[in-house]
A and B are shown apart, each in its own frame.
Chain A
Amino acid sequence: SSELTQPPSVSVSPGQTASITCSGDKLGDKYVCWYQQRPGQYPVLVIYEDKKRPSGIPERFSGSHSGNTATLTISGTQALDEADYYCQAWDSSSPYVFGTGTKVTVL
């Protein structure tokens, strides 16, 4: 299966840490990207190549990848981080499948 599974929702208090997992078969063979999508907007790349941050993305966003599971961590979560987050497997020889998506709620 080429599906990537994420938890449907994650709730976090302001200032705390939110972690979102992304799991899939053979994910260990691929790079993982993460996107943030606010309502009505296009997705914004927040992590590429498993753990690198694009220019302009705050340091509180970090990524890791071990085996078939990748993780996006938001440290010191702020209200403006409330959004949907998607992982994506990046491999030119395979489908660029997206994860099922996680809604992050900052309580």
Chain B
Amino acid sequence: QVQLVQSGTEVKKPGASAKISCKASGYTFTGYYIHWIRQAPGEGLEWMGWINTYSGGTKYAQKFQGRVTMTRDTSMSTAYMELKRVTSDDTAVYSCARESSEYTSGYVHWGQGTLITVSP
């Protein structure tokens, strides 16, 4: 079965970088994009961007342009999301997600989420 397993909770100082991994299993990694979504405490879902795991191409939400980098390691079936120069506003649960193989849109596979806390 499809599984997306993310790295663990992190605490970062303001100005630092945070890098989260998302290890995929149960399917051909390069066959599907990986998307990254975050949710701050008590807030809504926020789409951050996607990576084409086959080509390495990326598309980022304008809000994160210049601060986010999404990469992948096909040999490890793992996608990464790095967010630079974090502030307290970046405290959130960050999740990777993949769309369904059956449906034309929507995410049906999610990682368990990684909490990033930014604190002095």
- Write the B76-116 contact mask toward A (1 if CB under 8 angstroms, else 0): 00000000000000000001000010111111101011000
Q: Which residues of chain B come closer than 8 Å to A35, judged between CB atoms?
A: 45, 106-107
B45 touches A43 (CB 8 A): yes
- Give the docked Cα–Cα distance between A84 and B63 (Å): 24
Closest to B61 in A: A95
| Interface size, B (range) | 20 to 34
A48 contacts B104, C-beta separation under 8 Å: yes
Chain A interface helix/strand/loop/mixed: strand
Q: How many residues of A contact B (CB 8 A)?
A: 25
Residues B107 and A49 in contact, CB atoms below 8 Å apart: no
With both beta carbons as reference points, the residue of chain B lying nearest to A100 in the complex is identified as B44
B61 and A98 contact, CB distance less than 8 A: no
Q: Are A96 and B108 neighbours in the complex by a CB distance under 8 Å? A: no
Q: Taking the nearest CB of chain B, how far is it from the CB of A32, in angstroms?
A: 8
Minimum distance in angstroms from A40 CB to a CB of chain B: 10
| Interface assignment of B46: CB less than 8 Å from any CB of chain A | yes
Q: Which of B61, B95, B102, B105 contacts A31 (CB 8 A)?
A: B105
- Residues of chain B lying within 8 A (CB to CB) of residue A45: 100, 103, 106-108
Once the chains are docked, how many angstroms separate the CA of A49 from the CA of B59? 21
| CB atoms of A33 and B105 under 8 A apart | yes
Chain A residues near B103: list those with CB within 8 A.
45, 48-49, 52, 54
Contacts of B102 in A (CB 8 A): 54-55
Instruction: Tell me the chain A residues, 33-63 only, with Cβ under 8 Å from chain B.
Output: 33, 35, 37, 42-43, 45, 47-49, 52, 54-55
Query: What are 18 pairs between A and B in contact, CB < 8 Å?
Result: A2-B62, A33-B107, A35-B106, A35-B107, A42-B110, A43-B45, A45-B107, A45-B108, A49-B103, A49-B104, A54-B100, A54-B102, A54-B106, A84-B44, A90-B105, A95-B47, A98-B37, A98-B46
Q: Which 8 A-B pairs have the closest CB atoms?
A: A90-B105, A101-B44, A33-B106, A48-B106, A42-B110, A45-B106, A98-B45, A48-B103
